[in-house]
Amino acid sequence: MAFWITPGGQLVILVVGWLLIQAVKRILRRNWPKYLNTWDLTAPLLLLCSVLLIPNGAGAILPWLVIGWMGIGIAVALLQAIHNKELLYGTFLRTFWRLTDLYWTAGFACCFLLVIS
C-alpha cells in the first residue's frame, strides 16, 4: 500500500490509467464519442495522483492549485458570458474541462517535482 503514495507509484497509476483508457477506446472504436479524447479522462487521474502525493510534501502547493482551478472556472464563465452574451453549459464545460486537462498536467508536474526534490 505504501508504494502507491510514492512518486513511482503515481507514475504507475498514470501509465496504467492511460493504457486502460486507450484499451477501452480501442475496444469501443465505433461507439466511442468523437468529441471525447484520452486527455479528457486523465484529468481525474492527475487530480487523484496529486492528492495522493500530499503525505510526501505536495500538501504545501495543492491548496493553491485547487484555488487556481476555481479561478479558471470563474474566468471561463465570465469570459464566455461577456463574449457570447450568454453562458451555455455545453460550451462552458468543454472549454473548462480542456483547460482543466492542461492545468492539472502542470499541477501534477509541480507536485511531483516538489516531492522528488
- Domain layout of the chain by residue ranges: 2-116
pTM of the model: 0.86
**Mean pLDDT across the chain:** 90
Residues 41-75 have pLDDT tens digits of 899 999 999 988 888 888 889 999 999 999 999 99
Asked if residue 1 has pLDDT above 80, the reply is no
Apex 53 CA angle, 49 and 55, nearest 5: 150
Average pLDDT (25-42) is: 88
Query: Which grid cell is 111?
Result: 507536485
pLDDT reported for residue 109: 92
Answer whether 62's CB lies under 8 Å from 51's CB: yes
Residues 82-106 have pLDDT tens digits of 999 998 998 999 999 999 999 999 9
